[in-house]
Amino acid sequence: MLTLENLTKRYPGAAAPAVDGLTLTVAPGELFALLGPNGAGKTTTLNCLLGFVAPNSGRALIDGLDVVAAPLETKRRLAYIPEQVNLYGHFSGLENLAYFSELAGHRYPDTELRRFLAEAGLQDDAHGRRVGGYSKGMRQKVGIAIALAKNAKVLLLDEPTSGLDPGASHEFSRLLRRLRERGVAILMATHDLFRAKADADRVGIMRHGRLAHLLTAAELAHTDLEKLYLETMAA
């Protein structure tokens, strides 16, 4: 569902590529956690998948479509939740969902929009309230509802649990499991080692734009992920 083929991105004037020959796949229903310090290449990888930056070589594919060759079609197939979900603060959660759904080519009655919000875990009494008063966790739930309304096949996450309390972080993981049950492929860039180990089917540790380690869920169960991560960063 999501494929990177020898993806390389070098910014002008940089001494080394931000992403250097990165190859990975994420299957339908799989959560792949991408770990690494700031500057490891995680955000550049997501930006290539979103079509915000073009790679110097290699390819980024969404549902078999090249992001550079088919930017609009690939965007229709994915949803993106950044560290801070950008919504219109003077709109309600319901109005934001209606607006972003229409941008994606879908128009739903209010009853259906409310169903998406409820499925994403947003309490009923918040649907009509202005988003400007929402917590980060509530904004993320609207982001999940947008992914549901778009019928997104791929979900890209950038530090989704940063700033969440343990309860909200656990609830967000539960929502991701429900999306995986629907066959959504999820690529999550994160610093949260605990959630990566608890939730991911596979974990990749990036360093200097490359995958230094790739671990399956079975391997994670017998690995001290924090120790491996720190050793990788110190190498």
Q: What is the pLDDT of residues 98-107, one digit of tens each?
A: 999 998 888 9
pLDDT, position 168? 82
Task: Indicate the domain borders of the chain.
Answer: 2-77+153-234, 85-151
Query: How confident is the model at residue 3, as a pLDDT?
Result: 96
Mean pLDDT for each consecutive 10-residue tract of the chain (235 residues)?
Answer: 96 93 96 93 94 95 95 91 89 95 90 94 94 91 91 92 82 88 94 90 95 91 88 85
| pLDDT of the residue at 201 | 95
Q: Whole-number mean pLDDT of the chain?
A: 92
Q: Which listed CATH number (3.40.50.1000, 3.40.50.300, 3.20.20.120, 3.30.300.180) goes with 2-77+153-234?
A: 3.40.50.300
pLDDT at position 85, please?
86
CA dist list (Å): 172 to 75, 98, 223: 23, 22, 24
What pTM does this model have? 0.91
